[in-house]
Amino acid sequence: MGPRRLLVTAVLLLAQAAPREASEYCGRLEYWNPDNKCCSKCLQRFGPPPCSELPSLASQPLSRLLDELEVLEELIVLLDPEPGPGGGTSCGTTRHLAARYGMPATWSTFTYSLRPSRSPLRALIELVVAREPSASLGQLGAHLAQLGREDALQVLSKLG
């Protein structure tokens, strides 16, 4: 073997032996963490996206959403989905939002059992407003951003 061929062979062997430190295996909202040599959630490293783009909503009361029926209905369609095949739930639903507000899983199960006559999202907003009158639309926007629900943030921005 000539020196050039030997060099090419050595480079190829080193390339195969080198560990893969790429994010090609990570999910959509993940990044390659070289410290742990695994995928980590972007939210853990970078925090939630800056708020919830909705500065005019930051100080408005959450109770306003109960008066804006058109916007509330759009959010209900997005956040109160039917369970998926096999009973699974999708990510970022009212169940997840309720957990952000400190509601137990039993509360979510109960409110979902009242459908279709009662919306779990409406029930959640009414309860949060009753418990915490100072709750704001900005806080809701921050929770939606943490859940990765840009679609719901777009609907919420109609109140701005």
> pLDDT digit string (tens) for 30-81?
777 788 787 777 666 666 555 474 567 888 999 999 999 999 999 999 998 7
Q: If we measure between CA atoms, which residue out of 152, 131, 125 comes closest to residue 141?
A: 152
Both tokens assigned to 11: 């480079």
Domain ranges of the chain: 20-49, 55-159
Return the ∠ at Cα 118 (arms to 104 and 158), rounded to 5°: 90
Q: Which of 129, 106, 108, 118 is nearest to 76 (CA)?
A: 118
Reported as a single tens digit per residue, the pLDDT across 116-141 is 888 999 999 999 999 999 999 999 99
pTM of this structure: 0.64
Confidence (pLDDT) at 47: 61
